[in-house]
Copies of this chain bind each other. A is one copy, B any other.
C-alpha cells in the first residue's frame, strides 16, 4: 500500500474493511490530448474482504470512488452484499475520475483551464493505481456509461490490467445525436459561466441530460398529468422534476468538471478490433444515448465479445435501476454461473 493510503474511519463493516487513499504522482502526467498534470492525484477506495478477487467498478461522469451499498455509493442498487456485483464474493475498487468533481486531479472552480481529458487518461491512471496498490491482475472491470468507455480504453491500452471487461451502455465511440445533446449541455454551462452564473447553467444542463437518460415511455407514464397555467405561465408536470434534479446536481458538482468529462465522452474513440481481453457487453434497447446499433457494432468489432440486450423503460439509466436484470449477466461473466 502506498504511503498516501489510509483507513477510512467509520467505513469498516462486517464484510471487511474499507480502505481508501490518494495516490500522488511526482512526475508530470502526460495527457492524451496534450498538456500535463503536475503532481497528478488519484483518489481510490477498496471495499470488501482482503484476498477476494478485485473488481473495478465505474459509472457515469458523476460516479466516484464510493460505489456500493455499504458505502451509500452511487451504484448501491447493483453493488453490495447479495447484489449483482456481490461484495461477499468480490472486493470492489472505485476511484474518482481525473477531471471530475472528486478528490482526483480536477478543474478548480473558476480556475485555470484544465487539460482536455481522454478516456485513455483514465485508463493510464487505472493502470498505475492497480500496479501501485499491488492488486495483481484485476478479476474484472465493470463499467457503465462513461465507465464502460473507460473500461474499453483500459482493454485496448492496458490489456494486462484486468482478466475480463463487463460494459453496460457504452460503445467504442459516442453517437452523433448523443454528442449533439451533450454539446448543447456544455454550451449552456459555458453560457452560465460567461454570464456569472455557472451553477445556473449546470442546473439547466443537468435538466436536459435527464431527458436523455430516461425514455419517452417512462415520462409518458410518470408525467401524464395535464399541463396548467400558474402565475401567468404554462407549466407541465415534468418540469418540476427536471429542475429539482438539476438544482440538486448543481449544488454538488463542479460546472468545469461536468464540461471536462462530458467532452471526454464525446472525444472517446477506442480501437477494439484487437481487443485481447474478453468482453461482455450489455445493451439496453430503449437507450437514447447509446443506441442498440452502436452496441452491436462494438460487439461486431471486438473479437470474441458477447452482447446481451435488455429491455428497460429506464433507457440509459437502466444500469442504475435494473439490478435484477443485470444480475444473471453479471453472475455469468464474473462467476461463471447464472444465479
Residues of chain A having any CB pair with chain B under 8 Å: 33-34, 113, 115-116, 174-177, 179-184, 187-188, 191-192, 195-197, 200-201, 204, 207-208, 210-211, 215-216, 219-220, 222-224, 226-227, 229, 232-239, 242-243, 263-264, 266-267, 269, 288, 291
Copies of this chain present in the complex amount to: 2
Name A268's closest neighbour in chain B (CB-CB): B227
A contacts with B: majority SS = helix
Structural contact, A234 and B264, CB atoms closer than 8 A: yes
Structural contact, B211 and A177, CB atoms closer than 8 A: yes
Structural contact, A184 and B204, CB atoms closer than 8 A: yes
Structural contact, B175 and A220, CB atoms closer than 8 A: yes
Candidates B195, B216, B267; contact of A177 at CB < 8 Å: B216
**Top-4 shortest CB links A-B:** A234-B263, A195-B195, A177-B216, A183-B239
Structural contact, A234 and B266, CB atoms closer than 8 A: yes
What would 4 more interface pairs be, CB under 8 Å, given A116-B232, A179-B227? A34-B229, A176-B219, A176-B222, A177-B216
In the bound complex, how far is the Cα of B235 from the Cα of A181, in angstroms?
Answer: 13
Structural contact, A216 and B175, CB atoms closer than 8 A: yes
In the bound complex, how far is the Cα of B263 from the Cα of A240, in angstroms?
Answer: 15
With contact pairs A191-B204, A196-B195 given, residues A183 and B220 touching in the complex (Cβ less than 8 Å): no
CB-CB < 8 A to A215: which residues of B?
Answer: 177
A182, A233, A237: most-surrounded residue (chain B CB, <10 A): A233
With contact pairs A204-B188, A269-B226 given, residues A238 and B291 touching in the complex (Cβ less than 8 Å): no
CB-CB < 8 A to A204: which residues of B?
Answer: 184, 187-188, 191
Structural contact, B236 and A179, CB atoms closer than 8 A: yes
With contact pairs A183-B236, A195-B197, A197-B195 given, residues A220 and B177 touching in the complex (Cβ less than 8 Å): yes
CB-CB < 8 A to A201: which residues of B?
Answer: 191
In the bound complex, how far is the Cα of B124 from the Cα of A312, in angstroms?
Answer: 43
Candidates B184, B195, B196, B226; contact of A207 at CB < 8 Å: B184
In the bound complex, how far is the Cα of B235 from the Cα of A228, in angstroms?
Answer: 39
CB-CB < 8 A to A174: which residues of B?
Answer: 227, 236
Structural contact, A263 and B233, CB atoms closer than 8 A: yes
A211, A215, A243: most-surrounded residue (chain B CB, <10 A): A211
Name A221's closest neighbour in chain B (CB-CB): B176
CB distance from A296 to the nearest CB of B (A): 13
Structural contact, B238 and A183, CB atoms closer than 8 A: yes
With contact pairs A177-B219, A216-B177, A232-B116 given, residues A187 and B266 touching in the complex (Cβ less than 8 Å): no
CB-CB < 8 A to A177: which residues of B?
Answer: 211, 215-216, 219-220, 238
CB-CB < 8 A to A197: which residues of B?
Answer: 191, 195
List 17 interface pairs A-B (beta carbons < 8 Å), by A numbering: A34-B229, A116-B229, A116-B232, A175-B216, A176-B224, A176-B237, A177-B220, A180-B210, A180-B239, A184-B207, A188-B188, A191-B191, A191-B197, A192-B195, A195-B197, A216-B288, A234-B263
Candidates B115, B180, B207; contact of A238 at CB < 8 Å: B180
Candidates B113, B116, B216, B243; contact of A234 at CB < 8 Å: B116
With contact pairs A34-B229, A211-B181 given, residues A236 and B176 touching in the complex (Cβ less than 8 Å): yes
